[in-house]
Structure 1
Amino acid sequence: MRRFLRVAGRLVCGLAVLLLSPVLGLATLAGMATVMAGPQVFSVTGLAVFASVFYLGLLLCVPRPAARWARWARAVALLGVEAVVVWHVCAQVLTEPPGTPPPAARVEGQREWELPTGSRLAYVRVAAGKASAAPVVVLQGRGDLAGDAAFFGQLAEGGREVYVYDALGTGRSERLRDPRGYGLPRDVSDLEAIRDELGAERLVLVGHGEGARLAAAYLGAFPGRVERVVFSSPAPLRPPPTVLGFPAPGESLRVPDVDARMLVTHALLRVEPQAARAFAGDGELDARLDRTRALASASYHCPGAKLTPEPRGSGGYASLAPRDVEPPAASGVPVLVVKGSCDFQPWSSIRDYPRGGLVYVEDAGHAVYADRPGPYLKALRSFLAGRPTGTPAGDRPPPGYLGPA
């Protein structure tokens, strides 16, 4: 009985050490990164600690035999297991995934803002005639300048200019050396600098999806600078936790693009973001997010809808920045919320937004403007013209709503 307890205790200790080995490896890797060691140094050091602790765990799990030849056989077998596991982990950690795309090419009409905030942002301007009204600024963040300019440019009427731009760290806009520079405070400052660059007293904001958060944050910070605002398929102001920070937008996507290399990147982001970017560059993180969104493309539309390819370069490191927004106080700014009948964003996401008119669009998913462009444009044109649009938003979804509550 005593021997059984001793063997069982050794096995439990061994399993605990095995489970602890990747934690100690990541901790060592992160610690080395904080003393400004290069990616090669902190990667190899962390892997060496992982391998050493993992082998110790194997030794504890397998009792030491009495016969000398059996000890040698045990050592060879354990080294074989060690080699297979460590080789697999090393291959995942040290090998950059294939298929990292080149930077997105320029689109027709693309220009750049050099803002006093230090941001360099790519944008497209659409105008029809002489501008005499507040410009429309579209907040999307999908990296599809050409497509967004072609669609939302149809709002360029009645003396309005329409501006579509890629937020910092996304699409064709500048990437930062230090990922700590990303986040809503910087995006809000950039948007205020854009308003000043345009020489506009006030802006009309059209925030779609994640862009609705930015619109709400800007409205909360500069209510007097907003003429009216559209929250289109708005994302929750306080987003729920996600695996390693990557958004998982639809029910069709349960597990983001996660492996040992991504675990290392995420650990580095928590302690030394610049080391994370040196380890896994912008192209790699952009490609990972592109793959995540491509897998979830069906969730952007109603079942059976025709799917279109998702744009590239949506911004990996920028997407990992904190995005929580405090609900803006009542400001008297006219508000319109547009919601599709099968949007993957929950109905509850609109509760924290300022209340205004609600346009509920049947047979439309998250990409409501792509699924039902006619009703969408009609609602926005009516709203921009100052006419009462939509009905009061309720806390509960209407009958027939297919999205989450």
Structure 2
Amino acid sequence: MNAFDLIRSAVKNSLRSKTRTTLTVLSIFIGAFTLTLTSGVGTGINQYIDTTVASIGANDVLTVTKAAEDTGDGPVEYNPDSTTVAAAGPPGTTVVTLGSDDLTAIGDVDGVLSVEPQLRVSPDYVQVNDGTAYEASVGSFIPGMALDLAAGAEPDPAAGSNEVAIPVSYVDALGFSDDADAVGATLTFGITDVAGTPSDITATIVGVAEEGLVGSSAFTANEVLTEALYDAQSVGLSATSKDSYAQAVVRFDPTGTEAELTTLKADLADLGYTGTTVEDQIGSFKAVIDGIVLVLNAFAVIALLAAGFGIVNTLLMSVQERTREIGLMKAMGLGGGKIFGLFSLEAVFIGLMGSAIGVGVGMLAGFGANSVLADTLLADLPGLTLVAFDPAALATIVLTVMGLAFLAGTIPALRAARQDPIESLRYE
């Protein structure tokens, strides 16, 4: 009996007792179905997080700040050589601004490829033609970012003209019929300097960006536009005040190891600076999602283990029912190894049926959930595909279930292989 004959016999024998095999396949199906959905949810959310990370920062960038001195419960002593600005966080949170000396010190740290101040601009409003003016915030486009675009393109960092990507939430408000209609239009920023003198700066809309997971509604400006807005709002400031920055952008080697990045952060900390990547800022959220998916996967694995006992029971009963048949096969010269292989293949085939059906139905359920949720619960998260399937992950599920089925089938397969042919033929 060659390998093909073994496989054909295994498939045929697996379907002898249709009811028993169906129940066993059903139990495997439940585990594989659950694993498929939980794996898909994990893949979908992590892909969305990765897209969001790419849209708010590059993977080779550290945002460096200098925190205000912490003196415990007492007040901070005034230092005439430093200034502070409000920062994100609880009310009253401030950071000490960075000056030219700080930028030089940061640039001298081993592992820093470049350091640039991050300009913070606060326009009064944005407006298209003579339409309604709206409040807006502006963020810089850092080379290496990848905006999640609804239309158009990203601002060109090397362009000599003012370019901006607007949030998708402003498309209707600014008077555009759709996302594509906004691309190519001229947007006006109104900005006021220290002396209270207003000025207008125009820019070309080159793209429309989805808001993403963090819900950012900032306009993304290229370097030329950011500098123009910063210069306009800084008229009247002293040279020292104009050259004071809340944070700086540090580039490092993205091909370096995690240990090298940790060392770079430690070196910056020794100088009194804090360096954070976009992954650091959003990593805790991703860890929570991964933890939830891991727990759900654990329940699926428990279901598969229970199905494994079903396979053992199914094949043990099959061995008992086919005792005389096993004796006859041995008497005709079929060795114990092939007997073992025959029953092991039956277990693997049962595992294949259950896992393949579970994965297939799980994918259909995932696609159905995506289409329903996209217009209901997830309507405020454009671009999120809650259940996304990775072919490698699905193949891993099928192969894992088949492996578990093989292990479960070894006990009855060994029992069949070790049977004495004479005793088997006498079995009633």
- Structure 2 length as normaliser, TM-score? 0.19
Which has more radius of gyration?
2
